[in-house]
Structure 1
Amino acid sequence: MHKHLIALSVTLALTACQKDAQHPTNTASADQTQSVAAQLQVSPSEQLAQTVDAYFSESLANNPVYATFVGVHDYNDRFSDPISEATLAEQLAFEQKYLKAIQAIDADALSGQDRLSYDIFLRDRKMAIRGFEFNAHMMPFNQMWGVQNFYPMLGSGASAQPFNTLEDYENFIKRTEGFATYMDSAVEAMRQGMEKGVVLPKSIIVKVLPQLQAHIVDAPGDSVFYGPVKALEDHAGFSDEQKARLKKDYEAMIMQVIVPTYRKVHEFVMSEYLPRGRDSVGLSELPNGQAWYEHMIAVNTTLPLSADEIHQFGLDEVSRIRAEMDKVREQVGFEGDLQAFFEHLKTDPKFFFDSPEQVIQAYEQVKADINARLPKLFSIAPEADYEVRAVEAYRAASSAGASYQQPAPDGSRPGIFYINTHDLKSQPKYLLETLSIHEAAPGHHFQIAIQQEVEGLPDFRKFEGYTVFSEGWALYAESLGKELGLFTDPYMWYGRLSDEQLRAMRLVVDTGLHAKGWNREQAMDFMRQNSSMGEADIESEVERYIAIPGQALSYKTGERAIRQLREKLAARMGDKFDLREFHTQVLIDGAMPMPVLEAKLNRWAEQQG
């Protein structure tokens, strides 16, 4: 699967910018850039800028859906190329071309932002190239990410795809033809995976089936893809004739392209793929799986960590946090043991909302409270706002409890803090403060929106992200709660501990599943024993770790890295250490690998004298 389709599917593109970026359709390649640079004898800094800009522009042409999400609308009528050996070869050659280009630049002649960009770009190209050693394209989607889920969001009229003009509507019809072709190629790639033993676990496959079934409708008006047609009714920019024609065209698109595509894939998954699914769940069980998981650790943590090291760190943290939870049990006067306290928190009605509307309203109130406190620890904030929304019904059953979607690049849409209200027992009241901090401000919304609003960053840094940085920052932001004056209610503090415990358990469970031979039930038992999470949450979490190996490791390893940097620099700088300025320095240059962040912050500390 295209790397940018993967990125979009995980978080619906943790990307945005202040204004609509404009990129030429025909962009100089890396080879042309080097040739021109040689002729003009440009400086290494200028050569770097030309190289990374050429890479980003060319990557948008290669990944047209990604281009739409970052506000470049030249390719709104195209979908990504079908999965094939030729496409994979082209993608590898593309990465190799730009690795050669960056290596031709004199790194020692670069400083400041340029050196950051060089180090990040060089690392990224090497990691991307190594990824081609593994057959990820043979498992192109799962219940957590994949085109089967993000394409309906794109076509709903409430996402990045514009539906403002006649051309916009026609573009999506053309793009849908490419989507259908891509899905055909995904089926063929999965058939290749069946032959080579690279298939999803059965427990994951069964969760994909309802996602596909949801878009096999009997009438166009029942489809989420009909949303743009409904919006036409109140759109003054179209004549009655145009509205009638578009309505007819969209009904045809839904019933003749969308529905048959989803039906075809559903039938394949049900009748061919599920019977060939595997009973094992770990990535290490696949061909070359151990090396594959080691690669995923490196991709997701950006740190030189082993599975054994991470597993032990997780066990230590789980034990520490359990002890803190027991203190809360004593503080609130609960007479049973910790396991009984967990059960109490899962079952007592006082901890839960009565309706989805109450959930959303409560998070809106918490938003206002937190926003008023942020200046205490932050001298920087994004210009873009965010709003709280319930997860759409068609994807709620298999979606995470909460997530964040970036603001629109042109400022037309705020960031979105999604709350899943599908199961009210999965949204206890005591998670209000910590979940809001993590997903919105000063967590994901701060980090992502600030990154995209910083002037002067090359586009590849403005629009790309690192899970260890973004999720590490969000978990670190949670740890600031007491410093912000939050978590005064012991149950709210328990909510913070509960959230942190989830991240600690992830270290144990992810490595257990993918490196130590754990099965699905072992993983679920571990989480039952060490948290008050509901059964549905435990099941979805474990299946998430099975589906996307290594991603869950990034939260706690990233938080630890940022916290350690803060403590080290505070000790080193003494009275000159300013926490608000430290936070600015972490955020102001965008996401980056942890070793690059450490080197940058060390240089900042030196400059303070």
Structure 2
Amino acid sequence: MTTRREALGGIAMATALATPAAAAVRRRAAVKPAKTAARIVLDQAGQELLRLNPQYATSLGLDTGRNADLRARLDAADPGIDPRWVSEIDGIRARIGRLDKTRLSAIEAAQVGTLDYAAESAQIGRRFAYGNDGSKGLLNGPAPYVVSQQDGAVTSIPEFLNSQHPVKTRADAEAYLARIAAFARLLDSESARFTADATAGVTPPSFIARNALGQLQDYRKVAASDQPMVQSLAKRAAAAGIAGDWQGRATAAVNQLVYPALDRQIIAFTRATRNSTDVAGAQRLPDGEAFYAWALRCGTTTSASASEVHQTGLRQNDEIKARIDAILQSQGMTRGSVGERVVALNSRPDQLFSNDDAGRAQVIAYIKGKIAATRALTPRVSHLKLRAPVDVKRVPPDIQDGAALGYMQPAALDGSRPAIYYVNLKSTSLWPKYQLATLSAHEAIPGHSWQFAYLAENGGDTPIVSSMIGNNAFVEGWALYSEQLMDEMGLYANDPLGRVGYLQAQQFRACRLVADTGLHAFGWSRDKAVDFLVQQTGKGRDAMTSEIDRYCASPGQACGYKMGHNAIVALRDKARARLGARFDLASFDDALIKTGGVPLALLDGVVDSWMRGRG
């Protein structure tokens, strides 16, 4: 694939060749190099996956041209394993199997290997039909429950329409209305799926069911005309000068289509979950032990067992707590356990923002300041001159009860929309000031938004499919490694409490290894897992309850952070020891980013290839 620089060079050459005798040369200069066999396979997979994922196409800014029809559609969610996914994934693996692996470049080997690993994970996942449409393991991690406090149409579609669906033309607005109608159909499809799962004995734990049902009911209580997705269409259509009664038409669609389907879903969900128990872990699911082994494979992209992951978390928790203890003692905080002292820190007035709209605005402003500080340090950790624009927003109040405490929505690949860093401000007490710098390094710069920016800003050298595959351990491992980079670059040199926040975030990820495996492999209750996180990390009980509920709905995902971080740091140590003075930190970091994200099982080979290139 021609790079942006090569393309511009070709234009300059063509301009210089002004004589008729140079016409043939000019024509040859304008011809792009032929795609390699590997790139053809990767690009075909990307296009086909976009066709199966209209929402991904919009999120990436790729619902244009031959994919323009996708802008009016939502992802399908039919009961059972979707045969289209079966055919697609088997086809991907077959085409990869026919490639001559000896002819692949190092980067192609990483990209092809990544796609093959993900497709194999999806094939393994067919064993577990519940909660699954056939894509799990390829584009998303295991989610055993169709509807939970964080999964389902109500928690995703309205915000997707509001923040990602463009409204610049009349066609965009009509497509928006078509998606509202599709939202109603999706609700009914979900209801059929979770009803079938309940018949097979699969329902979310009772505490998750109560929360999810409350979210459905709360959404239903809002007048259709006041729904954010309705108002969003009306406001943006007016701003774009698109004439029409968009408010009235969207309101009617919600009243006539969405709300009747939602009423049916509320009844069906109530019926399906009436016998749910409070058993939290995956062991309660059919073939639950094997399901969790698959979830760990997807979440960590390794073959590590639950026991190995659990013991890693216990060991690293103790190591990081010792470092936190030393800093707290230096600040005169000597009484009680590390967790108890951090709990006390959480309630200090100098670390809190007022729990009102003014305080929430101050949190957003403070985060933006920290992003500016971390951005200034990026030339020391990367040679890539990425723009990586990022906006900071509050998690919408209508989904904050089930949402993560902080998360990133990557930028559109076409540059039409920046990355959006969401922070959950249900209560400002969820985010004491000393924790916000490391959160910003993780979610924004040089974490998620920086890594994803490469995919959007590298001139098309990275296949689209690399932006779609969810390599959880690499993506989250890179973000956690970014937190460490900022500490190493001196972000906390004059901020000891900020360093406590950084170390607490690292310790928290180590404790996740323990809590997630405890829940799903060792029979821990929800209360035991919450108590463990609160006592060990000093984080608030409400926040940790939300976290544990998240692990219940997404088994294995929380283990990717620290396992990914551990792998990156270990490989960096290996490269530094082998290369000595030839080791360059920024080049090492860029070598990882340029892969687009790979399974940890392939990361060693990526670093070995990079080291060979260093001589």
The residue matched to 1:482 in structure 2 has which SS? helix
- 2:20 alignment counterpart: none
Q: Secondary structure at 1:603's aligned position in 2? A: helix
Question: Structure 1 residues 47 and 371, CA, compared in 2 at 3 Å: closer, same or farther?
Answer: closer
**Residue in structure 2 matched with residue 79 of structure 1 by the alignment:** 74
Letter in 1 for 2:550: R
Structure 1 counterpart of 2:476: 471
Do the aligned partners of 1:391 and 1:418 also contact (CA within 8 Å) in 2? Answer: yes
Q: In the alignment, what sits opposite 1:92? A: 86
Partner of 1:251 in structure 2? 251
CA–CA distance in 1 between the matches of 2:538 and 2:145?
33
- Aligned mate of 2:212, from 208, 214, 220: 208
The residue aligned with 2:118 is 124
C-alpha displacement at 1:482, in angstroms? Answer: 2.5
Unaligned segments of structure 1, at least 5 residues: 1-17, 19-42
Q: Are 2:439 and 1:445 aligned?
A: no
- Alpha-carbon offset, residue 218 of structure 1: 5.2
- Provide the residue aligned with 2:376 in structure 1: 372
Deviations 1:168-227 (A, max 9, x none): 121122223222222212111111111111211111111212321232145332111212
- Assess if the C-alpha contact under 8 Å between 1:80 and 1:178 holds in 2: no
Q: Cα offset for 1:233?
A: 6.9
Kindly provide the CA deviation profile for residues 87-136 of structure 1, in whole angstroms up to 9, marking residues without a partner as x. 62232122112212221222123223322232222222211111111123
C-alpha RMSD of matched pairs (Å): 2.0
Comparing 392-401 and 335-344, the one that deviates more: 335-344
Of 141-150 and 499-508, more deviation after overlay is shown by 141-150
Shift of 1:263: 2.4
- Relative distance call for 1:340 and 1:289 in structure 2 (3 A) is closer
The whole-number CA distance in structure 1 between the counterparts of 2:171 and 2:118 is 36
Shift in CA distance, 105/320, structure 1 to aligned 2, threshold 3 Å? same
| Alpha carbons of structure 1 residues 589 and 279: separation in structure 2 relative to 1, 3 Å | same
Aligned partner of 2:203 in structure 1 is 199
Report the CA distance between 1:395 and its aligned residue.
1.6
**Equivalence for 2:566:** 560
What is the total number of aligned residue pairs between the two structures? 560
Is the counterpart of residue 58 in structure 1 residue 64 in structure 2? Answer: no
After superposition, the C-alpha distances for 1:380-412 in whole angstroms (9 at most, x for unaligned) are 242231122222221223222211111123322
Which of 463, 467, 474 is the equivalent residue of 1:462?
A: 467
- Residue 362 of structure 1 deviates from its aligned partner by 1.1
538 and 576 in structure 1: CA distance in 2 versus 1, 3 angstrom threshold:
same
Deviation (angstroms), 1:278: 2.9
Contact residue 315 and residue 508 of structure 1 kept, 8 A: yes
8 Å contact 1:215–1:262 — kept in the other structure? no
| Identity of matched residues, % | 31
Residues 118 and 469, structure 2, Cα contact 8 Å, conserved in 1: no
Aligned partner of 1:571 among 577, 583, 597: 577
CA–CA distance in structure 2, aligned partners of residues 569 and 127 of structure 1:
29
Residues 103/335 of structure 1: CA separation in 2 closer, same or farther (3 Å cut): closer
CA–CA distance in 2 between the matches of 1:104 and 1:44?
A: 19
* Amino acid paired to 1:287: P
Out of 361, 374, 386, which is 1:357 matched to?
361
**CA distance in 2 between partners of 1:55 and 1:410 (Å):** 19
1:418 counterpart SS class:
strand
Report the AA paired with residue 47 of structure 1. A
Which residue of the other structure, out of 596, 599, 602, is the alignment partner of 2:602? 596
Map 1:289-308 → 2, pairs under 5 A:
289-308=288-307
Whether the aligned pair in 1 keeps the contact of 2:167 and 2:237 (CA below 8 Å) is: no
Matched with 1:526 is: 532
Question: Which amino acid letter does the alignment assign opposite residue 310 of structure 1?
Answer: V
8 Å CA contact retained: 2:388, 2:450: no
Q: Write out the 4+ residue segments of structure 1 that deviate beyond 4 Å after TM superposition.
A: none
The letter of the residue matching 2:79 is S
Partner residue of 1:29? none
Written as runs of structure 1 = structure 2, the 5 A alignment for 1:536-551 is: 536-551=542-557
TM-superposition CA deviations, 1:423-448 (whole Å, max 9, x none): 11111011121111111101111111
Q: Which amino acid aligns with 1:128?
A: A
Q: What's 1:278 paired with?
A: 277
For residue 449 of structure 1, report the CA deviation from its aligned partner: 1.2
C-alpha offsets along residues 325-350 of structure 1, whole Å, 9 cap, x if unaligned? 22122101124122541331132222
Distance 1:235-1:326 versus aligned 2 partners, 3 A rule: closer
- State the Cα distance separating 1:44 from its structure 2 match: 12
**Partner residue of 2:157?**
151
1:479-514 Cα distance to aligned partner (Å, 9 max, x none): 122321112322111111111111011000000000
The whole-number CA distance in structure 1 between the counterparts of 2:335 and 2:572 is: 38
Residue 312, structure 1, aligned to residue 317, structure 2: no
Residue in 2 aligned with 1:581?
Answer: 587
Contact kept in structure 2, 1:44 and 1:106, CA below 8 Å: no
Q: Are 1:484 and 2:484 matched, yes or no?
A: no
The one-letter amino acid paired with 1:423 is S
User: Where in structure 2 are there 5+ consecutive unaligned residues?
Assistant: 5-32, 133-143
Tell me which amino acid in the other structure corresponds to 2:473: V
| TM-score relative to the length of structure 1 | 0.88
The answer to whether the 8 Å contact 1:558/1:594 transfers is: yes
- Secondary structure in 1 matching 2:37: helix
Q: Could you say which residue in structure 2 is the equivalent of 1:104? A: 98
1:69 is aligned to 2:59: yes
* Counterparts of 1:529 and 1:342, CA distance in 2: 10
Q: Is residue 163–residue 228 contact of structure 1 (8 Å, CA) maintained in 2?
A: no
Matched-pair contact (CA < 8 Å) for 1:384–1:411: no
Greater shift after overlay, 272-281 or 529-538?
272-281
Using the TM superposition, give the Cα deviation of residue 566 of structure 1 relative to its aligned residue in structure 2, in angstroms: 0.3
Determine the C-alpha separation between the residues in 2 that align with 1:378 and 1:117.
21
Letter in 1 for 2:230: Y
Look up the match of 2:136.
Answer: none
User: In 2, distance between residues paired with 1:449 and 1:191?
Assistant: 40
- Structure 1 residues 514-539: Cα deviation after superposition (integer angstroms, max 9, x where no partner): 00011101101111221211111110
Distance in 1, matches of 2:532 and 2:34, equals 53
- Does the 8 A contact of 2:168 with 2:240 survive in 1? no
The answer to whether the Cα contact below 8 Å between 2:201 and 2:285 also exists between their aligned partners in 1 is: yes
* CA displacement, residues 116-174 of structure 1 (integer Å, 9 cap, x when unaligned): 23222222221111111112337213212332211011222xx2211122211211222
